[in-house]
Amino acid sequence: MLSAGCKLVDGYTRCAIIDYGRGDLYFISHDYYTLLQKMDRLKIKDIEKELDSDSRIHFYNFLDFILENELGFFADDPMKFPVMSEMPEDDYIELQDVIIEIDQQIFDLEIFLKLCDDLKNLRCKDFQIRLLSTADLKFLTTIVDIIETTNCNYIEIHCMFNPDITEDDLSEFVEKHVLVSHFYLYGAPFIRKKEVMNSIPGFHSLALGCLYYLNYSFDEGNCCGIINMGNLNFSSIYVHNKLKTRNGCLDKKISIDRFGNIKNCPSMSQVYGNVQDTSINEIIGNHDFRKYWFIKKDQISVCKVCEFRYSCTDCRAFTNDSTDMYGKPAKCGYDPYTGKWKDHAMHTVKHKMNFIQDSK
Ligand code: SF4
């Protein structure tokens, strides 16, 4: 039996075993993919009966490989290990993510309070704030204090680097606001990642959040949707399961631009209403708005034959064909028909990869 933390995915040129428990990836041929599917929960001696003597040698080698890497195990009674459901159990979440663009020059506190009240009622989990100006900690404190009243889980901030704000000031801000986990500063004169640690004397030193200094400008989200080997997910089986039924990026997401326009994503053009006169609840009930939530990787051109399709995000804002709702994400450098990445997309390979030769 394959371990519960491992998943098999078939692709055009090759197949994959993904060990989500360890974050490891193993490439296998279609023959071994079929064999693994067939042998699940069968007796070894019954599988052997089906194989000729040459194939048995490959079969034993393959079993050794599975056991050595703890990808599977023998069970006397497979009934004790029922197949686990792949349905994501997140029906209780009405809205997962919100992206809010803020232009300090035209910011309206009253509307922001109303918006946060709406998001609180929908129990929205994750907030991303895109401040379209340089960091202003006084202003950000006002914003974050309001968001914290919504009982969300997580706040991420994006803004331009401000040379007048020291790293100590930023660290103190993150330390005070425990929900602020990621703070991105664009246009910095250097690239750096700084973990903010709990500095209270006598307490364990815990990472409270992270400052990311980036030496390029914030391009209002156009940097979104880049897919390369380094940002595929090989560590969350929840994401794998979700990608089988939902969209990896837009599911339960809403975005509000600087003028209050409500969209699926800041980089998409279609507007569904404005926070000044429309409630978020009304928008997420709109069938047209929700249609992107259910676009699965199995429906996307090219992606549907890719062995990484349940480990990948799915950008619908930048696709190879703007007229096709199911076009391949434009910022992906992988071609599943050749099994090759373009050079630029390969730069951060961090996962262990193995390849098992075809059984003849
Ligand atoms: S081809 Fe599609 S599924 Fe495969 S890595 Fe690229 S975007 Fe992801």
Per-residue pLDDT reduced to its tens digit, 137-174: 999 999 999 999 999 999 999 999 999 999 999 999 99
308 lines ligand 1 (CB under 6 A): yes
Question: Which of 18, 227, 344 has most ligand 1 atoms within 8 Å of CB, for mutation?
Answer: 227
Q: What is residue 92's predicted lDDT score, i.e. its pLDDT?
A: 83
Buried b (16+ CB within 10 A) or exposed e, 193-230: eeebeeeeeeeeeeebbbbebbeeebeebeebbbbbbe
- Residue 267 contacts residue 222 (beta carbons within 8 Å): yes
Ligand 1 centre to CA of 15 (Å) is 14
Question: Which of 15, 27, 298, 328 has most ligand 1 atoms within 8 Å of CB, for mutation?
Answer: 328
Q: What is residue 223's predicted lDDT score, i.e. its pLDDT?
A: 67
329 lines ligand 1 (CB under 6 A): yes
Report the nearest-CA residue for atom 1 of ligand 1.
303
Report the nearest-CA residue for atom 8 of ligand 1.
312
Q: What is residue 226's predicted lDDT score, i.e. its pLDDT?
A: 84
312 lines ligand 1 (CB under 6 A): yes
Dihedral sign computed on CA atoms, order 317, 323, 328, 330: negative
- Residues of the chain scoring pLDDT < 50: 345-360
Ligand 1 centre to CA of 39 (Å) is 29
71 lines ligand 1 (CB under 6 A): no
Ligand 1 centre to CA of 303 (Å) is 5
Ligand 1 centre to CA of 292 (Å) is 17
Spatial strand order in the sheet of 253-256: 192-197, 207-213, 180-186, 154-160, 126-134, 97-102, 253-256, 261-263, 273-274
Report the nearest-CA residue for atom 2 of ligand 1.
303
* Ligand 1 nearest atom to the CA of residue 314, by list position: 7
229 lines ligand 1 (CB under 6 A): no
309 lines ligand 1 (CB under 6 A): yes
The CA distance from 266 to 258, in Å, is 10
170 lines ligand 1 (CB under 6 A): no
Q: Phi and psi for 181 in degrees, rounded to 5?
A: -105, -35
- Residue 252 contacts residue 95 (beta carbons within 8 Å): yes
Ligand 1 centre to CA of 228 (Å) is 9
Spatial strand order in the sheet of 24-28: 6-10, 15-19, 24-28
73-95: pLDDT as tens digits = 999 998 899 888 888 778 788 99
By CB neighbour count within 10 A (0-12 exposed, 13-18 middle, 19+ buried), where does 93 fall? middle
- What CA dihedral angle connects 35, 38, 40 and 43, to 10 degrees? -100
Q: What is residue 180's predicted lDDT score, i.e. its pLDDT?
A: 97
DSSP secondary structure letter of residue 355: B
Q: Tokens in use for 215?
A: 């030496």
Indicate the pTM of the whole model. 0.85
Ligand 1 centre to CA of 267 (Å) is 20
CB-CB neighbours of 348 under 10 Å: 10
